[in-house]
Amino acid sequence: MNILVTGACGFIGSKVANSLSDFAEITTIDNCTTGSISNLPTNTIFIEGDCQSSITIEKLEDKEFDIIMHIAGQSSGEISFEDPIYDLQTNTQSTLMLLDYALKHRCRKFVFASTMSVYGDGHTDAVSEQSELNPKSFYAIGKIASENYLKLYASYGLQTTSLRLFNVYGPGQNLENMKQGMLSIYLSQLIKSGKIVVKGSPNRFRDFIHVKDVVNAFKRIVSYDENGYSCFNIGTGRSWMIQDVLDMLKDIYGKEFPIKYVDKTPGDMEGVFANITKAVSLLNWQPYIEFKDGFANFVSWGLDKNVH
Amino acid sequence: MNILVTGACGFIGSKVANSLSDFAEITTIDNCTTGSISNLPTNTIFIEGDCQSSITIEKLEDKEFDIIMHIAGQSSGEISFEDPIYDLQTNTQSTLMLLDYALKHRCRKFVFASTMSVYGDGHTDAVSEQSELNPKSFYAIGKIASENYLKLYASYGLQTTSLRLFNVYGPGQNLENMKQGMLSIYLSQLIKSGKIVVKGSPNRFRDFIHVKDVVNAFKRIVSYDENGYSCFNIGTGRSWMIQDVLDMLKDIYGKEFPIKYVDKTPGDMEGVFANITKAVSLLNWQPYIEFKDGFANFVSWGLDKNVH
């Protein structure tokens, strides 16, 4: 089986690519802006470049893939406000280029890394895949457009799936990027300065999912054969307040640290958490890692990484 | 008052620009791919170029506008299937470039020419602005993304309005473009060959609105001062079956002509018609031209144009 994984040097993409390389031949693309080549699986054909560029697409040399997993893209809502045009190109135009390639080269299945950001605010209950979309960032708007393209290509016979990832965390997350990943930002601050600056209210809430559980969802899609377009929430179904997360971090860290609250970032969401019934029933998938365990393990990894 | 009108060489844009030039100083942009410079109002500052290009935006030389009316863009659902990337750039990236300019240059109001295509199929009743969006073309997906950007910029204090135009027709429509404008395509075929090829079923239905009524809607927005984002259906609220339109055309034309039915174009909609309550009540706007009158007048214009 031939699988193309984009964003394969990044946090999620690299773990997906490595996991799939156990049973498939993996081709990878990454522009290496935030990810590292050292994260790639061994024996992969690697193409360095942007997926929104025809130069990169041409380097695929008309190779036919069974599955394309498009995970590449700028992944911070906050950063999307700094360069909305780049965000549109990296998150939306890239999808269009790859869907076009998929259709022309008889690819069977296209999997897209979408985001809980598409839901925006105004949801007090867990959001299901049918919940209203109220995008609050350029990032979220571009992801919705990409999902709409997936629906359109499904009408041409391509199987397309969007995985709406909630707050993903875990070992391997980039501790140098201070604008992406709520938990990795807190952890990085704690390691570097022994204190934490929280952008926004402690009453916001999130659904944190461990990257291993996310990788399992991507693997499930390999054997999920349903025609048309489908969309799944990939979260845990549990909501955590930022205040509780910080308390938990104090327990894990073993001592007090100062916390400063400042204004929230543009487009930041009040909160959202997932109804995962659909993924559980149709993908036979479920998250295994309890947040308390996963978070403790993640913090240990970060502290340990800093020592060595 | 300073107003920027994009797409000012085109069918709708030129009529809007001319109409506004009675009371405002008009700057215009057009890439002249389908429109004609001869359509521009006199005494306008004209910039030739694509709105998605920073080169064009730089030519505005930091001029401050009271209102930007963004009407430029590839306007055929059918053509959007031939080059989806171009469609994304001309219809979505362009909006992002101009919204960014508007905000940075203290523009008060941003008006966007959107489309009934955003609704797609599955609506048996008249669609209101709250109806579900089921985009069936790249064109429609890009227009929805643009509307979402308008909502986002509204949160920064820019007044943004999207006018969802239904099937616009009228004198001045491009009779050379055989992929845009249902009525102009039929009229053009009749003039050129004395017969009509209909792409799709005669049971499809549309809401046809005369370009003069559309121009009036754009003018109403000049004095509509409501903060935030607003969206209006600009149609007549009446639904016409294609079969009835063709019968009407025979009456106007005064003799029979052969009709051939072929497959529908990609992304073509079964039908949609507008609930215009919102525009009528909030904009104090209403369509004045009865379709039967407007259509007869349009056909006369086309036949007359062909004679001279």
Look at residue A221 and tell me if it is in a domain: yes
Is the pTM higher than 0.90? The answer reads: yes
Look at residue B266 and tell me if it is in a domain: yes
Tokens 């209203």 correspond to what residue?
Answer: A132
- Specify whether B160 is located in the same domain as B259: no
- Specify whether B127 is located in the same domain as B198: no
Q: Is the dihedral of CA A70, A29, A75, A86 positive or negative?
A: negative
DSSP state of A265: P
What is the C-alpha separation between B224 and B220, in angstroms, rounded?
A: 6
B88:A96 CB<8 A: yes
Tell me the β-bridge partners of A196: A259
- Specify whether B219 is located in the same domain as B76: yes
pLDDT score of B305 = 82
Q: Which chain B residues touch A93 with a CB distance below 8 Å?
A: 85, 88-89
A284: left (phi over 0), alpha (psi -120 to 50) or beta: left
- Specify whether B254 is located in the same domain as B157: no
pLDDT score of A197 = 96
- Specify whether B56 is located in the same domain as B101: yes
- Specify whether B213 is located in the same domain as B299: no
Look at residue A278 and tell me if it is in a domain: no
Inform me whether the C-beta atom of residue A222 falls under 8 Å from chain B C-beta atoms.
Answer: no
Token digits of residue A15: 């773990």
DSSP state of B120: B
Write out residues in chain B with pLDDT < 70, as ranges: 307-308
Inform me whether the C-beta atom of residue A144 falls under 8 Å from chain B C-beta atoms.
Answer: yes
Q: What is the pLDDT of residues B200-256, one digit of tens each?
A: 999 999 999 999 999 999 999 999 999 999 999 999 999 999 999 999 999 999 999
Residue by residue, pLDDT tens for chain A (308 residues) are: 999 999 999 999 999 999 999 999 999 999 999 899 999 999 999 999 999 999 999 999 999 999 999 999 998 888 899 999 999 999 999 999 999 999 999 999 999 999 999 999 999 899 999 999 999 999 999 999 999 999 999 999 999 999 999 999 999 999 988 888 999 999 999 999 999 999 999 999 999 999 999 999 999 999 999 999 999 999 999 999 999 999 999 999 999 999 999 999 988 999 999 999 999 999 999 999 999 999 999 999 999 887 65
- Specify whether A117 is located in the same domain as A248: no
Look at residue B88 and tell me if it is in a domain: yes
Distance from CA of A154 to the nearest CA of B (A): 11
- Specify whether A107 is located in the same domain as A197: no
Q: Which of B100, B137, B148 minimises the CB distance to A135? A: B148
Helix/strand/coil for A58: helix
Q: Which chain A residues touch B144 with a CB distance below 8 Å?
A: 144-145, 148
Number of domains in chain B: 2
How many A/B residue pairs have CB atoms within 8 Å?
62
**Domain containing B70: what range?**
2-169+208-237
Q: Which CATH number does the domain housing residue A247 bear?
A: 3.90.25.10
Residue whose C-alpha is closest to residue B1's, from B56, B69, B55, B73:
B69
- Specify whether B222 is located in the same domain as B102: yes
Question: CA-nearest residue of chain A to B84?
Answer: A96
- Specify whether A44 is located in the same domain as A9: yes
Look at residue B278 and tell me if it is in a domain: no
Window 67-86 of B: residues touching A by CB (8 A cutoff) are 84-85
Look at residue B39 and tell me if it is in a domain: yes
- Specify whether A198 is located in the same domain as A157: no
Question: CA-nearest residue of chain A to B148?
Answer: A141
User: Between the CA of residue A58 and those of A47, A50, A61, A97, what are the distances in Å?
Assistant: 10, 11, 6, 11
Question: CA-nearest residue of chain B to A99?
Answer: B84
- Specify whether A226 is located in the same domain as A215: yes
CA–chain centroid gap for B259, Å, is 27
What is the C-alpha separation between B63 and B108, in angstroms, rounded?
A: 13
Q: Which CATH number does the domain housing residue B104 bear?
A: 3.40.50.720
Look at residue A283 and tell me if it is in a domain: no
B84:A92 CB<8 A: no
Residue B119: which residues within 8 A CB-CB, separation 6 or more?
Answer: B127, B131, B132, B133, B134, B164, B269, B272
Look at residue B276 and tell me if it is in a domain: no
B88, B94, B146, B162: best to mutate for the A interface, most A CBs within 10 A: B88
pLDDT score of B158 = 97
Q: Between vectors from CA A305 to CA A178 and to CA A172, what angle results, nearest 5°?
A: 60
- State the DSSP H helix or E strand holding residue B161, giving kind and residue range, or none if neither: strand B159-165
